[in-house]
Structure 1
């Protein structure tokens, strides 16, 4: 009994506080139907001044009185304090002091304190407000269902904004998302009520805007992770779109951050054309919606990243298959091109300038050169070419290429080059780096037929292990970044998914081969780099290529070939393709060299063993039917320790390369080659000091 008395005393002492803090109107009515206590909300509901409700008969307030229902429970209530539900959710009609009647919803409970007579505790609500609350709760659940079923953010965001606007009486809603590579917000989606379609222009006007943390009302709410309600945006100087809002007649707004797991995903923002008082309950519900939205966005982004990774794997497998095909074709094709290009080049030097055959011969040579370029592009795309990397400063490369790049871009394109001082050096094949830059500039030019802006830049970036900007599959560390950005037509998402595939989306009449970006991709991948593209249809494209930064400084190339191309040394030529062997022999003999021939490794060993004078140089193909050039060179080095070796091939072979990079200390000449290329390389190898 003592415990019961203590409890009732505690409850009694807290009763005044409970009355005033109650979120709804509350009346305490005794068994005679007289109001004993009432909170401020009840006074306001019935139109009475402060304290004037006490002593009023409930029949003056509630038409359908429930006071008589208390009598039946009086005896039990006298025995001990009790809380008993009498009527829940009863629909009643109230009567204000001025006589107006209005609908109310009442929850009535029987309460007895300190062993005294029971009283009726009446919780009263406006049914309109109740329905609004239920509607808002329905909105929260609807948003959760939309996001649960959505496959993309683009699909879900407009539906979510529409649901909130329609059910919470907003006229336009905007969804801002955080950038992947910078702490800023950009507009992702918006929705406006159809009958006020002009408001859609407000959304479009916000599209190019970027909001920084703590900048303006949206930035502040996003950074503080707290919602904000503004009754009149014109009265808030920090609202940076006042002129734009005034143009469309927007008055009130609210903004809610979208946060998940402590990470800022974005913000949702709503406007009306009429002044709207702050609604704390709605703000709370919008925060719940923001949390639901953030969780779903995080899930969708994870799924999209997973799908993108799967697509990249499939694309890599497809590219690898095409690369293997390109390598197989190139081996035979480059042998034929070596003869076509070589003989036509040699004949052009021997036919008189006024000969009627000279023009035809030059056309043959030009066609051969074009075919050789196409073959190199196929090999680059398939990552099957042999790279001869060295330490290169990309900034110096850009500076040296600037006149040529301006010519390629054309007069209608405003080209600018910005290089960060001390960005660093990279270990790449300089010729392939130049090819990447040229192809990207040509691609940009094709996307801007009427002119535009083209920006090239070199900068240094540090990729941390936990850096969200670090591309997938790229290890942490220091990188040199090559950026090529244009203001051209850009690419939609479908095109971007196939951008580096050969011959994809090549327009009719295009001047290119359809291998430009495929070649860029292959070179970058084979060189240990990584390429990303950021683009939207109609808004240009930005290519970002990063290579591992090396600490060694770049050094200029020294000319290794001697000024003279002729010689008298003995050369053993090993080549299984007769047409190539005959061409190389002809060029070398014409320059004074003594040439020994062999159609394969076995024949080459027989020729070498029969030789009584030194062999100074062995020129050998890498892949032949009965062996490879690397194994042959090891055997011949035993017979002629002082001999030098020069390898020929049309694409990468495991015998002389690893991961596409020529083994250190080896000399290589890629097919096809012209007589001048052959003679310069031979002279360079023979003239190099041991």
Structure 2
């Protein structure tokens, strides 16, 4: 059949009209579509519009995904991407389509040796990994696109942002490490506190009898030097136990309201002598600094210990900066520092330009007896003492350091609006009795009780002893003993020294008391606070120290009862 017949001409004419009509439709000239072919062309137009609508809906859905998605061909060239993907690479789709993924995502000129697409070509299974781009972390998946013959024709590359999840996970780990560190220090503190308490009772006996022996020896007696050596060793041991008690937060503090600026000013000259001429000391004091409630002697020890630590970190010299500031620690800060309560604080910062510390050292920096110094150069108790004093003062301490970048300690102490109290004058050096006053010693340790009786008798006092609070009550209430002073241990079985004095002072309000303890259990262990006006002496003490304290109490009339939790701030 010839292609030039009448039918062929008709078909060619209709096809030409249809093509013209379609082209007119594409140009929007719908009015040109006429004749018998119009229904066919219109139906075709509807199909085109439906296809375009579906394509727009698909792209809108694609762009609505929070995850970044790239569709790649088998050569890893980007075929399509969504808005989230454009946002990550900060380029729109027209700029990335047709380019390889390693160039767009990583800025590389060739594929990376560890690219997951290499493995996917062999496994034809999902590949996944974590990846950091522009400071954010992503969980990356790569899924193969296969043809009907299971051949690889492309891949779907998805990036799911896990930055917040990863940050939260790391924060949980950090908080768990903080908790474990605090629990470890608490456990070590309980152990060292118990050992120090028992050791103190032994030291006070050594010091007491040693002082009495020394007082009996002739000034020219060669044995005096031997006894002095014994006393010197006992005093050094006592200093160690005080540091252990400070770390374990079981020493008794006698806090006052003060301004840290005043403390730093008073220590200026001493600090400069301590750190030496090769280290420059800079002190920056905040104006209108809030007051804090701390034990003045203990906060001075904190500052001195930190200065010594900084000095030892700068053997070739450097700069030591001490700063004070008023700060507010909010809920956000407290959420990442569980030991902190939101509120107003005074911050003491101590920064050196020394050798810095590794993370391994930082993790153990406050442990007692841990030191990086050579044998014989330190006890490892300096920073543990700082830690204990700050914690017992209701404060917090944090350390920031990196190797070769120096170290900063930041101490936060609760601010107070209370006014600074008067400074109590130091007692004189007269410590023997001049009137033969009567003292009742209440102590449950027999050896210590016997030594105390001998020591106080040597000082000219009349002494009666009781092994516990029950015996003391019997002597005073039943026998009628009327002592001028009761010297009592704070912690005793069945009834504490506080409970004893509470009962006696109900009917004898002017009865005077002097409390003593190696550390104070129950109320003082938990609070570590003595009310102003309460007379207290820390074990171990010397003959002179107890003598001076007794004269002070008898002469100034410390009659207020010992206070536990109800008297704490």
Tell me the TM-score normalised to structure 1 length: 0.59
**Shift in Å at residue 620 of structure 1?**
0.9
Residue 581 of structure 1: aligned partner? 449
**Shift in Å at residue 382 of structure 1?**
1.3
**Shift in Å at residue 566 of structure 1?**
3.3
Q: Is the 8 A contact 2:366 2:384 kept in 1?
A: yes
Aligned partner (choices 498, 508, 511) of residue 377 of structure 2: 511
The 1:488/1:79 distance shift into structure 2, 3 A limit, reads closer
Q: Is the 8 A contact 1:391 1:427 kept in 2?
A: yes
SS of equivalent to 1:462: strand
Residue 619 of structure 1: aligned partner? 487
Give the Cα separation in 1 of the matches to 2:339 and 2:523: 28
1:495 aligns with 2:460: no
1:9-57: CA deviation from partner (whole Å, max 9, x where unpaired) = 997469xxxxxxxxxxxxxxxxxxxxxxxxxxxxxxxxxxxxxxxxxxx
The 1:135/1:308 distance shift into structure 2, 3 A limit, reads closer
SS of equivalent to 1:538: coil
**Shift in Å at residue 542 of structure 1?**
0.3
Give the Cα separation in 1 of the matches to 2:523 and 2:363: 35
Unaligned runs of 5+ in 1: 1-6, 15-73, 86-104, 108-126, 151-155, 161-255, 261-288
Q: Is the 8 A contact 1:385 1:651 kept in 2?
A: yes
Residue 596 of structure 1: aligned partner? 464
1:526 aligns with 2:392: yes
Matches within 5 A, 1:158-169: none
1:316-355: CA deviation from partner (whole Å, max 9, x where unpaired) = 2122222221222222211111122233344445545543
Q: Is the 8 A contact 2:443 2:467 kept in 1?
A: yes
Residue 330 of structure 2: aligned partner? 464
Give the Cα separation in 1 of the matches to 2:529 and 2:115: 53
Q: Is the 8 A contact 2:334 2:341 kept in 1?
A: no
Residue 319 of structure 2: aligned partner? 453
Residue 83 of structure 1: aligned partner? 48
Give the Cα separation in 2 of the matches to 1:438 and 1:464: 30
1:602-649: CA deviation from partner (whole Å, max 9, x where unpaired) = 332333246546312111112234542223223433564431111111
SS of equivalent to 1:391: strand
Give the Cα separation in 2 of the matches to 1:10 and 1:347: 122
SS of equivalent to 1:615: coil
The 1:128/1:620 distance shift into structure 2, 3 A limit, reads closer
The 1:11/1:443 distance shift into structure 2, 3 A limit, reads farther
The 1:527/1:9 distance shift into structure 2, 3 A limit, reads farther
SS of equivalent to 2:99: helix
Aligned partner (choices 255, 259, 262) of residue 393 of structure 1: 259
Aligned residues: 453
Residue 424 of structure 1: aligned partner? 290
**Shift in Å at residue 547 of structure 1?**
0.4
Residue 90 of structure 1: aligned partner? none
Give the Cα separation in 1 of the matches to 2:330 and 2:216: 61
Q: Is the 8 A contact 1:562 1:687 kept in 2?
A: no
Give the Cα separation in 2 of the matches to 1:331 and 1:468: 34
1:65-113: CA deviation from partner (whole Å, max 9, x where unpaired) = xxxxxxxxx996575324399xxxxxxxxxxxxxxxxxxx9x9xxxxxx
The 1:549/1:641 distance shift into structure 2, 3 A limit, reads closer
Residue 60 of structure 2: aligned partner? none
SS of equivalent to 1:83: helix
The 1:663/1:83 distance shift into structure 2, 3 A limit, reads same
1:435 aligns with 2:297: no
Unaligned runs of 5+ in 2: 1-21, 30-37, 52-76, 80-93, 117-127, 138-156, 560-569
Give the Cα separation in 2 of the matches to 1:440 and 1:149: 45
Higher relative contact order, structure no. (Cα contacts within 8 Å, ≥ 6 residues apart):
2
Matches within 5 A, 1:230-629: 296-466=162-332, 471-559=337-425, 561=427, 564-567=430-433, 568=435, 569-609=437-477, 611-612=479-480, 614-625=482-493, 627-629=495-497
Residue 551 of structure 2: aligned partner? 683
Give the Cα separation in 2 of the matches to 1:144 and 1:419: 56
Moved over 6 A (4+): 7-11, 140-145
Between stretches 338-347 and 398-407, larger displacement belongs to 338-347
Q: Is the 8 A contact 2:280 2:320 kept in 1?
A: yes
CA RMSD of aligned residues (A): 3.9
Q: Is the 8 A contact 1:479 1:546 kept in 2?
A: yes
The 1:604/1:12 distance shift into structure 2, 3 A limit, reads same
Between stretches 626-635 and 321-330, larger displacement belongs to 626-635
The 1:656/1:507 distance shift into structure 2, 3 A limit, reads closer
Q: Is the 8 A contact 1:464 1:470 kept in 2?
A: no
